[in-house]
Amino acid sequence: MKAIWKDRIIADSEDTVIVEGNHYFPADCVSSEYLRESATSTRCVWKGTASYYDVVVGDDVNADAAWYYPDPLRAAESIRGRIAFWRGVQVVE
């Protein structure tokens, strides 16, 4: 699977975990050069607190387009150390 935005491959892995229709990529398969920490966080009752990254390509910023659970709850342990995408980031085979 690949995560692509603005014709750049942001993540590439054959080892994604699918939760609620979202592919979670191993963090070491994501190009950190395209990620910028965001102050945004949200809470899911069964996954825990999510933190976000902006996806940045050149001067283009896709705010909060990537998220991860730094300390997921037990039910979501399979996504620890993984990052998912949305907001126009295409996830394709």
Q: Where are the domains of the chain?
A: 2-92
Read off the pTM.
0.96
Residues of the chain with pLDDT below 50 are none
State the architecture of 2-92 in CATH terms. Beta Complex (2.170)
State residue 8's pLDDT score: 98
**11 and 23 in contact (C-beta within 8 Å)?**
no
Cα-Cα end-to-end distance for the chain: 4
pLDDT in tens, 49-72: 999 999 999 999 999 999 999 999
State residue 20's pLDDT score: 96
State residue 45's pLDDT score: 97
Triad 31, 72, 86: Cα angle to 5°: 45
State residue 67's pLDDT score: 98
Distance CA 88, CA 72 (A): 25
Give the rounded percent of residues in the chain with a pLDDT score beyond 70. 100
DSSP 69: -
